[in-house]
Structure 1
Amino acid sequence: MAAVDQLLASIAERLRGRPVPDDLRRLAAIQAERPADAGRSRDPLLHTRTVIFEPGESHALLDHSYLTDNDRADPDIMANIAAIDTVLLHAAWIGTLADGDVVGYWLHPDEPVGEPPLVVTFSTEGEFDIRPGESLVEAVIYHYAGYEDDRFASVADLYEAHGLPITARRADDLLYRRAVVNPGVLHSKRYEQECAARGLS
């Protein structure tokens, strides 16, 4: 496991020069400095099954290493992969969530300058979503607890105990900002274009 400074340097590179958000800095420290006897009841990342990518680490959803030769020979599948790649390029992918989805920041050039970047997920079902919340941590809690208020509040308390402020104690109270360019819509449009280019529509 990388030291904190190595992990932060890797994150900064993924963010392409943008400042590393304060909550992500704290999450990186929690992961890098985790004691050997850490358990889910005390470690918020372990509790929510969230992992920050180590330096140089990728993921099958991002590099498509799960594709078989038959998949690569299928024009419809590859049209979708090309569309996915277009969307992936507009995000800084930071880590993985409880069910294997990847999470990061939406950095499309049409998004407002000067505002905190939106948190985006890419699921194992091939779907892109903008997550509610004012920070990566709040998006992580929402992803893990959803609309189960007691569970949400309990996990929020655990993160706050590690120096991470949370603005809500239930999902309904989270801030939701819409993307100027929604990644899911961008994917759908690009998929149609890729299909047309391959004579599939």
Structure 2
Amino acid sequence: MQTEGTILIGDKVKKFIDSRLDGQDLPKDLSTLLAVVAGDPEFEEDGNNPLNIIWAELLWTDRKYPLLDHDYINDVDRANPDIMANVRAMQDTDKKLKFVIQCEDTSLIGYWQPDPETPLEQCALFWLNTEGQYYLTEGKTLSETLAYRALVDGDEDAFRSLLDAFERLGIPVPEADETSIFADMEFRATKVGETPENFRNQRYEYYRSLQKI
């Protein structure tokens, strides 16, 4: 028998999947993370939550996120055709980049899905940083990305804590060093094809051309 709390948790997860991922099947590590965080509200703030170790959070639909919602746009920005062309181009890009995580500095991580027929499990992950730049993530999965980013940033303690936290959730993250991380990123970059940055730039030029007519 479902309790009211169970129904609310299920509704929260469904809204996340429908809004952020268009109702698609979840990659395994995201599915596990979503289930444990949504299933236990206290776990979201717990030290065993890998997201909490690095002050990251899932993009719940009842919250606002600056880079996703573009709440930073003011009236002066709206009067600037360059800025608004870029905002529209980013909004178009965001439809193909399924964001799921916000990190401490408000940067986002999402699955790049230019072809809607490609399962999310097979999609490359990309960052969107606070400068509006898109770039390939440090890992090929969400869990790898969070752990390897900590290592690349020089935080060995956070890296080890993340490995342990993911392991406790049944999400194994392979050991790595900076050399292997960057080598794998370079290899994966050759497989991406059109990147979010390329797509955004094309859409920006399109919207700027409309303003000149």
Q: TM-score, normalised by structure 2?
A: 0.79
One of 186, 197, 200 as aligned partner of 2:199:
186
Alignment of 1:8 with 2:13, yes or no, is yes
Distance (Å, rounded) in 1 between the aligned partners of 2:43 and 2:118: 42
**Equivalent residue runs for 1:37-186 within 5 Å:** 39-40=46-47, 42-109=48-115, 116-146=122-152, 148=154, 150-151=156-157, 152-174=159-181, 175-176=184-185, 177-178=188-189, 179-186=192-199
User: Which has the higher mean CA deviation after the structures are superposed, 128-137 or 147-156?
Assistant: 147-156
Hey, what's the Cα distance between the residues in 1 that align with 2:14 and 2:111?
16
Q: 1: distance between equivalents of 2:112 and 2:44? A: 35
User: By how many angstroms is 1:161 displaced?
Assistant: 2.6
- SS of residue in 2 equivalent to 1:164: coil
How far apart in 2 are the matches of 1:159 and 1:36? 13
Contact 1:153 1:170 survives alignment (8 Å):
no
Instruction: Give me the whole-angstrom Cα distance separating, in 1, the residues matched to 2:90 and 2:44.
Output: 39
| 2:208 counterpart letter in structure 1 | C
Please state how far the C-alpha of 1:10 moved relative to its aligned partner. Answer: 2.4
Residue-by-residue CA offset, 1:18-66 (whole Å, 9 max, x unaligned)? 21111112211332214379543x3311101110122344422122121
Query: Shift of the alpha carbon at 1:149?
Result: 7.2
CA contact (8 A) 1:107 1:117 kept: yes
Find the aligned partners of 1:117 and 1:37 in 2 and give their Cα distance: 26
What is the Cα deviation at residue 4 of structure 1? 4.4
Greater share of residues in helix: 2
Distance (whole Å) between structure 2 residues aligned to residue 65 and residue 197 of structure 1: 24
Q: 1:37 to 1:137 in 2, by over 3 A?
A: closer
Mark the CA change 1:145 to 1:4 in structure 2 (over 3 Å): closer, same or farther: farther
Within 1, Cα distance between the matches of 2:175 and 2:75? 46
Evaluate the alpha carbon distance shift between residue 172 and residue 110 of structure 1 in structure 2; reply closer, same or farther with a 3 A threshold: farther
List per-residue Cα deviations over 1:82-126 (Å, max 9, x = no partner): 211121111212121121112221111188568622112211111
The runs of 5 or more residues in structure 1 that have no matched partner are: none
Question: Identity percentage over the alignment?
Answer: 26
Q: 1:9: Cα distance to partner?
A: 1.3
Specify the SS of the correspondent of 2:125: strand
Per mean C-alpha deviation after superposition, the further-off stretch among 127-136 and 102-111 is 102-111
- Counting matched residue pairs gives 199
1:22 to 20, 28, 46: 28
